[in-house]
Structure 1
Amino acid sequence: MVAMHKMSLDFYEDSFALIALHCNIEDHKLVYTINKFLKCGFKRRKDNLVFSDTISLPIFEWKDTITDRYWTIISNTGQSEESNENTGLFNDMPSIKKQHLIPEYKNVDYFLKLEQEDLDLESAILKSILAIPEIITAYTINTDTLKSKNNLIF
């Protein structure tokens, strides 16, 4: 009799914390502001995250070698142009379609993903982020109940 072994794709669970950021500034200005206030070293990754056929999102990352943390900032919203099939007044204008990295949180502008062994420092980081004047609000998201958690694997 032959034994069969199955491997599940959910075998390896990465532990990370996720902080939702609400702000009205562009991604490069947000990263500059966080670098300035939190003394971080975020830099833009050379390759974007390809989310769908027409949307790619820029990723900013920082490997903190002192505390052994890997941080990433990514936008939640991407836009794509679709050809308009309508005839009428706006037939030459392409329609803009918004897609969200995490559809459960459509109102969130950016996500800060913290990959580290010790997730207890999450509240101290959140408190520091809330002190930044350009950020309207920020809060943690429970990643265990997140339906589209696979979108954050990059």
Structure 2
Amino acid sequence: MAIHKVNLDEFEEIEYAIIAIHSTMEDYRLAYSVNSSLQINLAKNPKDLFVKIKEGETFFSRFSFYDAKKDRYWHLIQNKNEVIQTKNNTKTNLFLEQEIEISVQTYLIPELKKADYFLKIEASQNNFNVSQTVTKLNAIDAINMSYSIETENIKSKNNLIF
């Protein structure tokens, strides 16, 4: 039986930037505002981002756009969602074996719980200015705050692979 060794140099690492966005606006309205400000065309992705976590399975909405001229992928991803868990109440009381539904807040990136959305831009760093994009996002009235995230500091970056 032949053994095939894979060298880590054979894999191409995709460079991307992450911008955290704090906003109470609905995802489709935020996508419209981001489109207007950045002159892009984010559209609702038919496949939401599926993540399996300890609380259960959840989906996060995602808006995507590919800019062929500049060779960039743009993704606006929801960070917060709720999972409804069903638990059986086995205590002996008047309502025996009653099912209780509990709503649990889940996060795509748990270490950044305060961020409502993420804007992931897949582009080479030498032809993309993150600070200029953050400035344009902060000019949107519906966005309370946006800032760049260092991707090395994110522990759950596997959730951003799609």
- Under a length normalisation based on structure 1, what TM-score does the superposition of the two structures give? 0.86
Mapped to 2, the partners of 1:74 and 1:135 lie a distance apart of 15
Who is 2:19 aligned against?
19
**Higher strand content, 1 or 2:** 2
Who is 2:28 aligned against?
28
Deviates more, 1:141-150 or 1:115-124: 115-124
Q: Which one of 98, 102, 107 corresponds to residue 105 of structure 2?
A: 98
Who is 1:82 aligned against?
85
Q: Which ranges of structure 2 fall in alignment gaps of 5 or more residues?
A: none
Mapping for residues 67-146 of structure 1, pairs under 5 Å: 67-86=70-89, 93-118=100-125, 120-146=128-154
RMSD across aligned C-alpha pairs, in angstroms? 2.5
Name the aligned partner's letter for residue 151 of structure 2: T
* Contact 2:88–2:99 (CA under 8 A) maintained in structure 1: no
Larger radius of gyration, structure 1 or 2?
Answer: 2
Paired residues, what number?
152
Identity percentage of aligned residues: 32
Q: CA deviation at 1:33?
A: 1.2
* Contact 2:16–2:120 (CA under 8 A) maintained in structure 1: yes
**Aligned to 2:73, what secondary structure does the other structure show?**
strand
Q: Which one of 43, 52, 57 corresponds to residue 54 of structure 1?
A: 57
Q: CA deviation at 1:6?
A: 5.4
- Under a length normalisation based on structure 2, what TM-score does the superposition of the two structures give? 0.82
For residues 3 and 62 of structure 1, do their structure 2 counterparts lie closer, same or farther at Cα, with a shift above 3 Å needed? closer
Mapped to 1, the partners of 2:117 and 2:143 lie a distance apart of 10
Q: CA deviation at 1:77?
A: 1.3
Q: Which ranges of structure 1 fall in alignment gaps of 5 or more residues?
A: none
Deviates more, 1:28-37 or 1:104-113: 28-37
**Aligned to 2:136, what secondary structure does the other structure show?**
helix
Q: CA deviation at 1:68?
A: 1.5
